[in-house]
Structure 1
Amino acid sequence: MSDFLKHECGIAAVRLRKPLAYYKDRYGTALWGFNKLFLLMEKQHNRGQDGIGIGSSKIGMPLGDPYVFRRRSAEKDALANVFRKEMKAFHKMVRKGLLDPENPEDVKRKFDFGGEILIGHLRYGTSGGFEEGSCHPYLRRSNWPTRTLMVMGNFNMTNAGQLNRVLIERGQHPVFGTDTQTVLEEIGFHLDEEHTDLYRELRDKGVDGSDIPNLISERLDLVDLVRRSAGQWDGGYAICGVVGNGDMFVMRDPHGIRPCHMLVTDEVIAFASERVPLMTVFEASEDQVQSLEPGSVVTIKSDGTKIEARFAEEGPIYPCSFERIYFSRGNDPEIYKERKKMGAALVPQVVDAIGGAVDKAVFSFIPNTAETAWYGLMDGLRMFRREEVREALLKAMEEGNLDSSMIDELVMRNWPRGEKIAHKDIKMRTFIAQEKGRDQLVSHVYDITYGMVEEGDALVALDDSIVRGTTLKKSILKILARTHPRKIVVCSTAPQIRYPDCYGIDMSELGKFIAFQAAVALHRKAGRQSLLDEVYDDCRRELSKPPSEMRNAVKKVYAAFSDEEISAEISRMVTPEECDWKGDVQVLFQTIENLHEAIGGPCGDWYFTGNYPTAGGFATVNAAYLRWYDGVGGRSYDLPL
């Protein structure tokens, strides 16, 4: 994705099913679970680089011994540094004779992360701050283990303001700033209530005080706790929670917007945002890793009892399609095939854009994450060319004109040429404050392979998606122009991004989308400012309705134009103005129909179509238009209480 986006975070959780002595005997280390957590997080480092956090819970610790631990960091290379520091502390204790690494019980009692439950979070911040305090897991401490709670997740709640109002109306004093805090306090409230009810019931029955904690732990109903906590949540989420007594839960939103996968073996129950890390880290087959059902929660009691149950009614499934297009690692077998299909689906548009002259074009990709789709594009172009050759040969045979020279011409001419033209040379740090200075820096993020584009060639560059168009205009197209092609065609494996996201991706400001800018420009060129005014009034009316009755009033902005008209305007807008090269630029986008066909299953496409899966989405898009119209920046779901 040439326009860099921050997006949904990554989660990893490891619940050991055997005593630590088992892993020491079989694998040579009592830190087997801790090592697996690191690998799960490392394999998902693409999902978050703003900070990380890890947590540990030890089951059955003696009274007086700590049982819940957490480390967080927002420093550079936080993942490696946090694990390095913990292992350094471990080996320091070993050297001083304070810990015996050959004794699993010693490891459990003295090493903070020698617990049976280990959780980790990788953060890409789309809200809140970027300091350590904004990193998950969040921790709510108590001197009762059954009231102590750690929570982490990959989520965004569109109605965080409403949820905070609920807390206030109860008499609580929430700390505003992140929906994570809201989620933690909501679950914590119901945990406190259930704990108090159980305590009073047992106390009134005359149960000895020393027996009460274990009885509360046994009777704590996590499924009911999750069901009551999530009743008013509106958003996409995969959330993991750990109670201090050793109970844990992992839940996924009712529409399956955010991903969550689970592996269950005799040794471990593990969770991750992506499937392949679980397969690789635990050497599991594809069919061993299952996706959590939307609207379901998996609970694991401290005694190891596992339950999977629904906490919300079954509804339409809308998994985020950007997971398939860009975010998830491409070595997942399903995602790899889908991305190749997305590339192949662009062939008819690409061939038309270059006038059918495949022999006078070079096909490349930018950035590296588009490489898999590029393989699909190249396969599709070869199939297109083979069909051309086949038809020409059949025609020549019918006419009796087939000879060796014709075969050479048909077979050797016009085959697609694939080259790596653009290279992301360095990761630029925008340490220069002035806009002009930053633009000059960004223009050198990429470099090119010289000499591959010949005179008269078109250059076709495949991108994952085009969001704002800024990088295209200010950097990429200027760089590609240095190859002096007759035409540059930029094709996106994603359709036009027209509407904001509110479920975890950093795409919330409507006015920054190049597709929206193009539609507005077309209206103004046609003298239809009044329509933009009408949409403003429509959005205000929609926001005055109950959430369940809201509709997307912004669709009217696009209704007057075809996809091709908007693409043409985008092409004009991103063409560099200060550039010696004067060739044509054409921008192509995937169609919605081809996207759905490539993915082949349920597909969340609200940022393309405006069809949101929850009421919060419609509130977001209407509020986003009002903010744009009024010249107000910021997230459109950061609404006041």
Structure 2
Amino acid sequence: MSDSLKHECGIAVVRLRKPLSYYKDKYETPLWGVNKLFLLMEKQHNRGQDGIGIGCCKLDMPLGQPYIFRRRDAAKDSMASVFRGELKKYNKMVRKGVFDPEKPETVKDKFDFGGEILMGHLRYGTSGQFDSGSCHPYLRRSNWPTRTLMVMGNFNMTNAGALNKKLIDRGQHPIFGTDTQTVLEEVGFHLDEHHTDLYHKLRDEGIDGREIPEMISEQIDLPEIINESAEPWDGGYCISGVVGNGDMFVMRDPRGIRPCHFYINDEVVAFASERVPLMTVFEANKEDVHELEPGTCTIVRRDGSISNHRFHPELPKSPCSFERIYFSRGNDPDIYRERKAMGAALVDQVYESIGSNFDKAVFAFIPNTAETAYYGFLDGLRLLRRQQVRAEIMDACAKGELTEENLDNLIMRNWPRGEKAVHKDIKMRTFISQEKGRAQLVSHVYDITYDLVKEGDALVALDDSIVRGTTLKESILKILARTNPRKIVVCSTAPQIRYPDCYGIDMSEMGKFIAFQAAVNLLKKAGKSCVIEKVYLACKAELKKPEDERVNQVKGIYEGFSDEEISAEVSRMVYPEDLDWHGEVEVIFQTIENLHACIKGPTGDWYFTGDYPTPGGFATVNLAYVKWFEGAEGRSYDLPL
């Protein structure tokens, strides 16, 4: 993706089903679980680079011994820092004789992460503070294990303000700025309520106080706690948590907006945001890794029993299509196929754009995430050319004009030419992101292969999505223009992004979308500026309605304009004014119809179509427009209290 875009976080959970001694005997290390957690997180490093956190809960620890631990870090290279730090502690304790790695029970007693339940989180923050305190997991401590709670997740709640108000109305004092706190406190509140009810019941029955904790642990109804906690939530989420007694849960939102997969064998129960890390880390077949059903919660009790519970009635599924387009690792077999299909689906538009002449075109991609789609794009171009060659040969045969000489000419001429024309300097981009006020360096993030483009050639560059258009204008088009093509065609495997996201992606400010800016420009050029204010008033009125009656009033901005008209205006807007080059720039976007044809199964497309899967989405889009119109900045994920 050419535009910098932060997005969904990643989770990893490893729940051992055997004593540590089993893994020591079989795999020669009592840290088998820690190693697996590290690998699951490393294989999902694409999902979070702002910071990480890991947690551990030990089962059946003696009274008075600590049983729950966590480490969090938001510094650069936090993954390596956290795991390297824990390994150094482990080795130091071995050298000092604090425990004996040949006796795994001593590792469990003394090493913080020598437990059976291990959790990891990779953070890509879209709001709140970017420090270690904002990294998951969040921890709520108590002297009672059955009131202690550790939670982490990949989520955004669209109604965080209402959730905080609910806490306030109870008499609590929530810390604003993160919806993670609301989730932790909501689950924690119901956990406390159940715990207190059980305690009073057992105490009133005359049960000895020393026996009560064990009985509460056996009787605590975690499915009911989840049901009560999730009832007011509106958003996309995959949330994992562990109670101090060792009961663990992983839950997924009812629409399946955020991804979650799991793997179970006789040694481990493991969860991750993506399927492929589980396949790789546990050497599992595709069929052995399953998707957690939306609206359900998998619970692993401290005794190792596993159950799945539905906490919300079944709803139509709307999984985030950006997972398929960009976020998830491309080595998942289904995602790989779909990305190739999305590239191939652009062939007809591109062929028309270059004047139906492959001999005068060079095909490339914007590194690095568009590479898989590019392979599909080339396959589609070659298939089109093969079909043309076949028709030409058949025609020549029918006319009796087929000779060895013109056969070679028919086969070899006008063949699509794919090249590595664009290069990306990852280190340069990282440096720029860390050094504020260095806009003059942006144009050097990308570089070109010189002398590939010949006089009269068009240069076609495939990108996976175009959000703001900033990098196109400030960097990519400037560097591509140095090849002096007659035309530059930038094609996006994603459709036009017209509306904000409110379920995890950092796309909440309306005025930053290049497609939205283009539609506003077209309204002004057409003398229809009154529509801009009309939509503003409609959005304000919409926000006063009950949540289940709201609709997306921002669609009015796009009415009357075709996709092609908006694309043409985008092409004009991203053309750098200071270029000493006078060729044409055309930006082509995927169609909604082709996107749905390429992606297998249900597809959430609200950022393209404005059709949100939850009531909170309609509040978000109307509020985002109001804030844009009024000149306010900041995310629009929630109505104010």
Question: Which category of TM-score, normalised to the shorter sequence, fits these structures?
Answer: over 0.9
Q: Secondary structure at the match of 2:11?
A: strand
Partner of 2:278: 278
The one-letter amino acid paired with 1:79 is M
Once the two structures are TM-superposed, the CA of residue 360 in structure 1 deviates from its matched residue by 0.9
- Preserved contact between residue 616 and residue 638 of structure 2 (Cα < 8 Å): no
Q: Secondary structure at the match of 1:384?
A: helix
Once the two structures are TM-superposed, the CA of residue 530 in structure 1 deviates from its matched residue by 0.7
Moved more, 119-128 or 396-405: 396-405
Once the two structures are TM-superposed, the CA of residue 409 in structure 1 deviates from its matched residue by 1.2
What per-residue deviation string (whole Å, max 9, x for no partner) do you get for residues 508-540 of structure 1? 000000000000000000110111111011101
In 1: Cα distance, 2:540 partner to 2:260 partner:
36
Once the two structures are TM-superposed, the CA of residue 406 in structure 1 deviates from its matched residue by 1.4
Once the two structures are TM-superposed, the CA of residue 640 in structure 1 deviates from its matched residue by 2.2
Q: Secondary structure at the match of 1:364?
A: strand
1:448 aligns with 2:432: no
Partner of 1:65: 65
**1:207–1:547 CA distance, 2 compared to 1 (3 A):** same
Q: Secondary structure at the match of 2:465?
A: coil
Partner of 2:337: 337
Once the two structures are TM-superposed, the CA of residue 639 in structure 1 deviates from its matched residue by 3.3
Partner of 2:149: 149
Where in structure 2 are the equivalents of 1:128-527 lying within 5 Å? Answer: 128-425=128-425, 426-428=427-429, 429-430=431-432, 433-434=436-437, 438-527=438-527
What per-residue deviation string (whole Å, max 9, x for no partner) do you get for residues 491-520 of structure 1? 000000000000000000000000000000
User: What TM-score does the superposition give when structure 1 sets the normalisation length?
Assistant: 0.99
Q: Secondary structure at the match of 2:507?
A: coil
Partner of 1:124: 124
Once the two structures are TM-superposed, the CA of residue 359 in structure 1 deviates from its matched residue by 1.4
In 2: Cα distance, 1:572 partner to 1:432 partner:
30
Q: Secondary structure at the match of 2:553?
A: coil
In 2: Cα distance, 1:388 partner to 1:83 partner:
56
Once the two structures are TM-superposed, the CA of residue 600 in structure 1 deviates from its matched residue by 2.3
What per-residue deviation string (whole Å, max 9, x for no partner) do you get for residues 458-483 of structure 1? 10000010000000001000001111
Q: Secondary structure at the match of 2:369?
A: helix
| Structure 1 segments unaligned to the other structure (5+ residues) | none
In 2: Cα distance, 1:169 partner to 1:362 partner:
63
| Structure 2 segments unaligned to the other structure (5+ residues) | none
Q: Runs ≥4 in structure 1, deviation > 6 angstroms?
A: none
The one-letter amino acid paired with 1:159 is N
Moved more, 252-261 or 172-181: 172-181
What per-residue deviation string (whole Å, max 9, x for no partner) do you get for residues 24-71 of structure 1? 000001110010000000000000000000000000000010000000
What per-residue deviation string (whole Å, max 9, x for no partner) do you get for residues 432-484 of structure 1? 654xxx33200001111111111111100000100000000010000011111
The one-letter amino acid paired with 2:316 is P
- Preserved contact between residue 501 and residue 606 of structure 2 (Cα < 8 Å): yes
The one-letter amino acid paired with 2:496 is Q
Once the two structures are TM-superposed, the CA of residue 427 in structure 1 deviates from its matched residue by 3.0
1:80 aligns with 2:83: no
In 2: Cα distance, 1:506 partner to 1:217 partner:
40
Once the two structures are TM-superposed, the CA of residue 404 in structure 1 deviates from its matched residue by 1.6
In 2: Cα distance, 1:420 partner to 1:197 partner:
66
What per-residue deviation string (whole Å, max 9, x for no partner) do you get for residues 102-126 of structure 1? 1010010100000000000000000
In 2: Cα distance, 1:263 partner to 1:213 partner:
31
Please report the RMSD computed on the Cα atoms of aligned residues, expressed in angstroms. Answer: 0.8
**1:40–1:417 CA distance, 2 compared to 1 (3 A):** same
Partner of 2:111: 111
What per-residue deviation string (whole Å, max 9, x for no partner) do you get for residues 370-425 of structure 1? 00000000000000000000111111111111112211111000111111111112
In 2: Cα distance, 1:588 partner to 1:211 partner:
69
In 1: Cα distance, 2:400 partner to 2:162 partner:
77
Partner of 2:628: 628
The one-letter amino acid paired with 2:490 is V
In 1: Cα distance, 2:597 partner to 2:4 partner:
26
In 2: Cα distance, 1:535 partner to 1:336 partner:
40
Partner of 1:24: 24
In 2: Cα distance, 1:370 partner to 1:219 partner:
51
In 2: Cα distance, 1:347 partner to 1:362 partner:
14
In 2: Cα distance, 1:305 partner to 1:201 partner:
26
In 2: Cα distance, 1:122 partner to 1:590 partner:
31
Moved more, 214-223 or 183-192: 214-223
1:100 aligns with 2:100: yes
The one-letter amino acid paired with 2:386 is R
In 2: Cα distance, 1:518 partner to 1:605 partner:
20
Once the two structures are TM-superposed, the CA of residue 160 in structure 1 deviates from its matched residue by 0.3
Q: Secondary structure at the match of 1:249?
A: strand
Q: Secondary structure at the match of 1:299?
A: strand
User: What TM-score does the superposition give when structure 2 sets the normalisation length?
Assistant: 0.99
- Preserved contact between residue 619 and residue 639 of structure 2 (Cα < 8 Å): no
- Preserved contact between residue 619 and residue 638 of structure 2 (Cα < 8 Å): no
In 2: Cα distance, 1:472 partner to 1:452 partner:
20
The one-letter amino acid paired with 1:359 is D
Partner of 2:637: 637
What per-residue deviation string (whole Å, max 9, x for no partner) do you get for residues 148-182 of structure 1? 00000000000000000101111111111100000
- Preserved contact between residue 370 and residue 463 of structure 2 (Cα < 8 Å): yes
- Preserved contact between residue 620 and residue 638 of structure 2 (Cα < 8 Å): no
